[in-house]
Structure 1
Amino acid sequence: MEEKKSEINGHAGHKNPLPAVSIKSEKNSFKDRFMVFFKRNLLVIFTVSGVLVGVGLGMMVRNMNLTRAQMTYFAFPGEMLLRMLKMIILPLVVCSLISGAASLDTRSLGKLGGIAVSYFLVTTLIASSIGVALAFIIKPGVGAGALNTNNLALEGVSSNKETADSFLDLARYHYVMEINYVTDYKTILVGNATNGTLNYQKVPYGTDADGMNILGLVLFAMVFGVALRKLGAEGEELIRFFNAFNEATMVLVSWIMWYVPFGIMFLVGSKIVEMEDVVLLVTSLGKYIFASILGHIIHGGIVLPLIYFGFTRANPFSFLSGLITPFTTAFATCSSSATLPTMMKCVEENNGVDKRISRFILPIGATVNMDGAAIFQCVAAVFIAQLNNVELNAGQIFTILVTATASSVGAAGIPAGGIITIAIILEAIGLPTHDLSLMLAVDWIVDRTTTVVNVEGDALGAGILHHINEQEMKKQRQQEQHQEEQELEEVKVEVVANVKAEEETSPLVTCQNEGDSSSRETLDDKDGVESVL
């Protein structure tokens, strides 16, 4: 009988099969969970491995004393990665912003845009304050007065640009899409003086710099999306076109992401091979590098997560854990714009941020939000002041904060943008710019953590806006449900009130009812009397 019962259950010849099955299922479940985790994080594992292998490969190739041509060949796979990412930036930014702006109504677009701009300004101002505070605490320029660019074999960086022209160029970037407008100067003869000498004046004129103007594209795409929204039914076909274009671009991004680990390996390795005398730079500018990186760690590891937690009451590090691939790409490429494709894909797929919000806010953040850049620019400004034994007063410190916050907006659109932004700050507080080559010498070190913090600020901003949007949607749904309940209650009350009113105001019905009841009572009495008799 036991064998028959076990055969019916499919376990013939085993009296107690349950323990073996449970052990086997536990082994299978652990293996399945591990495989699911491995498949889900395969790209992250490959990307981080690419960085580590690139460091080792760079140290090996560094000892081979390659020629310049051989270094170019060695860096070619990494260069291809940068070109792929830059190739996808233009359609990604334009299509994502147009579709995002067109999918949101004007009221929500203005509200989300206002919250985003406030978030960007506040976080950048906090980052600037952290940079200034650390520079005064660590004092990287004190005792480094003997440091000279000639000792480090650095070329001078000339910057004769006026502060007013720098901010005017920043305004011009908003309205030029394909090229960057840069102010240059020429000296012209304006006439003779009374003593016979010639009078010359420095006159500004506009030139076109190389590179794509992302800021102008962002503004154009936002305005164009709002215009399509205003068209109504006539603009629906074009909106669907940009939505389809955007989805196709994201498919291309998913393909490029699988090339990222291989490209990063050679990108990091080539940077290590190109380094000349790293020890001398680090020892001479070690305090400046330490202050900048420490500021990035404080802002990216403490301040930004606290802001995210304050808005969402969620764990910020679990949110950031889904963005390891964009952070690694940012560390390797040193470009917020180049990290934008991978950032948008990971924010949407790993963290569940609404596509309308991520594709609207991330391109703006990659262009405008520069928390990491503001930190190292403020540290550099105070460092150069200490290097030249200049005591900064309260007005100059305030000028550094405001100028770094405002000028970091356009840093991405300028070649060597960080260095020229530091020049704007120095000229605003009246400091010389001949020491900028020191910043340029170690920019490739500091710029990696700078880009990671910039990208982190964009991602957390998208998460905060997503949370605020969800809360607003919940409030709207609750209000709609409450209104529906009130309407139903009003309908019920009206029905009951009408019935009562009809009973009270209909004398025929009331009299008839009263008559019926009284007649029944009399009939009952008559029957009772007859039965008694």
Structure 2
Amino acid sequence: METTNEFNGHAVSDCPVPTSKIPNKDDPKTFFAKFALFFKRNLMVILTVSGVLAGVGLGMLVRNTNLTLAQKTYFAFPGEMLLRMLKMIIIPLVVCSLISGAASLDTRSLGKLGGIAVSYFLVTTLIASAIGVALAFIIKPGVGAGALNSNNLGLETVSADKETTDSFLDLARNLFPANLVAAAFRSYATDYKMIAVGNQTNGTLIYEKVPVGMETDGMNILGLVLFAMVFGVALRKLGAEGEELIRFFNAFNEATMVLVSWIMWYVPIGIMFLVGSKIVEMENLVLLVTSLGKYIFASVLGHVIHGGIVLPLIYFGFTRKNPFSFLAGLITPFTTAFATCSSSATLPSMIKCVEENNGVDKRISRFILPIGATVNMDGAAIFQCVAAVFIAQLNNIELNAGQIFTILVTATASSVGAAGIPAGGVITIAIILEAIGLPTNDLSLMLAVDWIVDRTTTVVNVEGDALGAGILHHINEQGLKRHRQQDEELAEVRVEAFANLQAEEETSPLVTRQNQGGDVSPGAKEDSVAIESAL
């Protein structure tokens, strides 16, 4: 027998109707229509990948024309414009998204999610460092490469005489910038000055190297991130008084994302010229690849293992979902990362794709991704560890267990301070080399092939950020489900208690006699309540 329900005033059958029989006007019917729909949904991905391929072809063609240095600069101009546009919106995007994200999350959940995020970043970076060290000892890229010399490859030497202690102190100083406006384009760095501190017996002056603070060009993104997080929490604490400012930053954030969506349409053109100009600038490519081939192979293999196996397994372990279907929605930011070699420049497209393609909560993505782009450098940790072991093998230095442990810890810690810009991780290798007492004059070898390794490095960096956002979104969703279930159980308990009370009132003979008299005076009602409570 068929029963009916009322829905919006109409009788509706309770029998389920097969959804496959319901025609959907949006469903494509022909192969051409299906292809057109697929092309429309994945247009940005197709254009971005096509830009990389076109850039390779264009670079190979222009390379044979023997351009002058000035002409190479002009050729790279469209790619430079893309980088400038992406860097232009980094500060408003990071600051506004972190303020609105920290202000929208509850203080308790903020602390919980922040703790999970920091643990995730530290554990994954430590695993990445271990993979880099293990591969360097297995592949031995520096063994037998003692003939490598900076002069043979036509490279400039790199001066990196910074003390390890001062590097970490600079990291702490940059967390608390003295001037927020200056932090947008300058960061703190330690330099050294030789100061006379006395005379020897023969009259010779005694000099001492003294650290002196100075401001260097480059955005202090770490200080801006910390300030934005704390400021967002402070606005949340204000309550109603801070609501207007929170709405302002939310609106600013949404407007910035609109700008990002506009810039994304220029990405394929910019990427084409970025890749093409790099190919045109290459000199002695065959010599570099053959000389440093094992180093390049070890670094790229580490990125493939970490990005293709370790990170997806961690994501699957937390969410029990297919990690590759999650990553499939992020092809555009991965391609942007490959072309720009900058985690910070990839941040705008990453936030957009994570929210639109993978459905991550805006409060989660806009809080975690800017932090990850600053402190989570899994790819950098891998190639820094490979480079440290490579230079040790190059100089025929045997590393002991203590030095290996120092490499792991220092690479994990120094990757936090690595700038999210092209070649940002090479300078932090000097910190590791200083920590284990290795010479830093071979760093120029790293710079020679950094433009190759840095591409896979940046892809792994942004992949770790994206999967971390997905994990936190899943944990947050699970927490919300548990709260809903608890609320439903409490509601059921309340309903049952209310029903039992009604039943007792109906079956109690004393209460029945009190109610039989029709209208009762307030005094009589109070007496009846007193009798009930006493009984």
> Could you tell me the TM-score, scaled by structure 1's length?
0.89
Counterpart of 1:262, as a letter, is I
Deviation at 1:413?
Answer: 6.4
Change (3 A) 1:239 1:507: closer
In 2: Cα distance, 1:35 partner to 1:442 partner: 41
1:323 aligned residue:
330
Asked if 1:339 corresponds to 2:336, the answer is no
Asked if 1:400 corresponds to 2:401, the answer is no
Decide whether the 8 Å contact of 1:210 with 1:415 is kept in 2: no
1:70 aligned residue:
71
Cα displacement string for residues 268-315 of structure 1 (whole angstroms, at most 9, x for unaligned residues): 000000000110000000000000000000000000000001111111
In 2: Cα distance, 1:166 partner to 1:415 partner: 20
1:190 aligned residue:
197
* Secondary structure class of the residue paired with 2:206: strand
Asked if 1:304 corresponds to 2:311, the answer is yes
* Secondary structure class of the residue paired with 2:330: helix
- Greater Cα radius of gyration, structure 1 or 2: 1
Counterpart of 1:67, as a letter, is T
Counterpart of 1:181, as a letter, is Y
Asked if 1:472 corresponds to 2:479, the answer is yes
1:352 aligned residue:
359
Cα displacement string for residues 387-443 of structure 1 (whole angstroms, at most 9, x for unaligned residues): 111111111111000000000001016895312211110111111111111011111
In 2: Cα distance, 1:27 partner to 1:509 partner: 68
In 1: Cα distance, 2:451 partner to 2:384 partner: 14
* Residues matched between the structures, number: 486
Deviation at 1:93?
Answer: 0.5
Asked if 1:102 corresponds to 2:103, the answer is yes
* Secondary structure class of the residue paired with 1:410: coil
Decide whether the 8 Å contact of 1:175 with 1:216 is kept in 2: yes
Cα displacement string for residues 309-350 of structure 1 (whole angstroms, at most 9, x for unaligned residues): 111111111110000000000000000000000000000001
In 1: Cα distance, 2:466 partner to 2:515 partner: 73
* Secondary structure class of the residue paired with 1:245: helix
Change (3 A) 1:331 1:26: closer
In 2: Cα distance, 1:491 partner to 1:509 partner: 19
* Secondary structure class of the residue paired with 2:438: coil
Change (3 A) 1:316 1:508: closer
Decide whether the 8 Å contact of 2:422 with 2:454 is kept in 1: no
Deviation at 1:239?
Answer: 0.6
In 2: Cα distance, 1:271 partner to 1:415 partner: 12
2:449 aligned residue:
442
Asked if 1:381 corresponds to 2:388, the answer is yes
The correspondence of residues 91-490 of structure 1 with structure 2, limited to 5 A, is: 91-176=92-177, 177-178=183-184, 179-412=186-419, 416-490=423-497
Decide whether the 8 Å contact of 2:160 with 2:440 is kept in 1: yes
Deviation at 1:29?
Answer: 3.8
- Alignment identity in percent? 82
In 2: Cα distance, 1:497 partner to 1:506 partner: 10
| Structure with higher helix content | 1
2:509 aligned residue:
503
Deviation at 1:194?
Answer: 2.7
Any gaps of 5 or more consecutive residues in structure 1? 1-21, 511-533
Deviates more, 1:489-498 or 1:220-229: 489-498
In 1: Cα distance, 2:312 partner to 2:250 partner: 32
Deviation at 1:152?
Answer: 0.7
Any gaps of 5 or more consecutive residues in structure 2? 1-22, 178-182, 517-535
In 2: Cα distance, 1:262 partner to 1:329 partner: 11
Deviates more, 1:413-422 or 1:441-450: 413-422
* Secondary structure class of the residue paired with 1:433: coil
> Could you tell me the TM-score, scaled by structure 2's length?
0.88
Deviation at 1:197?
Answer: 1.8
Change (3 A) 1:305 1:508: closer
* Secondary structure class of the residue paired with 2:89: helix
Deviation at 1:503?
Answer: 2.1
Decide whether the 8 Å contact of 2:423 with 2:454 is kept in 1: no
